[in-house]
Amino acid sequence: MSFNMQLWEVRNGKLVDLRSSALDKEERLENWIAKDASVLGLELLIIGRQVTTAYRGKIDLLAINRQGDMVVIELKKHKTPRDIVSQVLDYATWVKDLGYKEISAIASIYLGKSLSSAFTDHFNESLPETLNNNHSMIIAAAELDDASERIVQYLADEHGLNINVIFFNYFQNNGQEIVGRAWLMDPEEVNERSESRKKAPWSGYWFVNVGDGERRSWEDNIQYGYVGAGHGKWFSDGLKRLQPGNKIFAYIKGEGYVGFGEVTQQAVMIDQFMTKDSEGVEKPLSEVQLNAPRATDNLGNPELAEWAVRVVWHKTFAKEEAKTFKGVFANQNIACKLRHPETVDFLVKEFDVLEQ
């Protein structure tokens, strides 16, 4: 069954159906995405618009993610459903071969500055040394026919292609414009299936970045039983991937692995995370004495506040005793599935995991 979005207004205690209508100009949607790609629910930097391929096609929007991978974004506009699917696949055959120089050139023309500078400004970290290890395809549309949806799902499910459809529906209510968004498939699941075809099997353990500075402290993590992230939606969303029952290895950037534990409660903002202070009095984590002086910045703002996931630690080490070796797995993501066999074997031994 093809996707259908519905919205209701609560009016005098009753639900009133809002009728969707065609967006007057689909170029408006392209403009919105180009200006702020977060409307897709993904952290992307748009590096090109109407990018001409070697086959004389024009990609509506070309983006790069935090990992340095390319993302093709194609709007359905006036194309037929079958045309848009074949077109985005055709564009991907060109994008997959783009190298560092070609990507940098595309970006500098569109952004008016170097890709390295724009990437650092947007993601607050350096541009990866290697770009375009992977690529993904996004079709933006108000609707697709049943057959096209089945084709996209087949390509993602059976062939592991990182392809998805995001639906935008337009509503008007008493002169107010409303836009709704929904994915055909969970983007994380699609990405996971695509990556699993190229990577080692998942070990069953999670890698988690734990900071140690002004906004979070490893000593606080140990004392109050949690891992934290925040001060940006990308960071808190990464933490929200962790669910009760997940077994995690905590890592401090530049130091090594410092803890092994199990998640017992999903992410909440720190003013909702209950713990006990030094005198045994129960109170929110935001109200206890923390070693991280800026942990309580932006309280009340879900996108900028610090979030916490409750963890029962089985074994921990001080930062100075972090466990590492040359070639150990590390990642810039807040949380990701740990697949590196050598790292898993090393951590299982160092943290006595088999004895837990």
Residue 1 forms part of a structural domain: no
Domains in the chain, number: 2
CA distance 248 to 336: 10
CB 48 within 8 A of CB 62: yes
Domain shared by 156 and 280, yes or no = no
Instruction: Give the domain range for residue 11.
Output: 7-196
pLDDT of residue 64: 97
Domain shared by 117 and 213, yes or no = no
Domain shared by 158 and 219, yes or no = no
Residue 96 forms part of a structural domain: yes
Domain shared by 164 and 43, yes or no = yes
Residue 279 forms part of a structural domain: yes
CATH number at residue 248: 3.10.590
From 176, 196, 216, the end of a domain falls on: 196
Domain shared by 46 and 176, yes or no = yes
Residue 356 forms part of a structural domain: no
Domain shared by 21 and 71, yes or no = yes
pTM above 0.75, yes or no: no
Please state, in angstroms and as integers, the Cα–Cα distance from residue 315 to each residue in 82, 184, 265, 353, following that order.
Answer: 54, 41, 18, 9
pLDDT of residue 15: 85
Domain shared by 115 and 216, yes or no = no
Domain shared by 161 and 285, yes or no = no
Nearest to 296 by CA among 220, 234, 242, 239: 220
Domain shared by 216 and 190, yes or no = no
Contacts of 60 (CB under 8 A, 6+ apart): 30, 49, 50, 73, 74, 75, 77
CATH number at residue 20: 3.40.1350.10
List the pLDDT tens digit at each of the 356 positions of the chain.
Answer: 455 677 788 888 888 888 776 666 667 889 999 999 989 989 899 999 999 999 889 999 999 998 899 999 999 866 666 788 999 999 999 999 999 999 999 999 999 999 999 999 998 888 999 999 999 999 998 888 888 999 999 999 999 999 999 988 878 888 788 888 889 998 888 988 888 777 788 899 999 999 888 889 999 999 999 999 998 888 898 899 999 999 999 999 999 999 999 999 999 999 999 999 888 899 999 999 999 989 999 998 998 999 999 999 999 999 999 999 999 999 888 999 999 999 999 999 999 997 44
Domain shared by 155 and 260, yes or no = no
CB 128 within 8 A of CB 66: no
Domain shared by 73 and 187, yes or no = yes
pLDDT of residue 94: 97
From 153, 176, 196, the end of a domain falls on: 196
CB 103 within 8 A of CB 115: yes
pLDDT of residue 252: 96
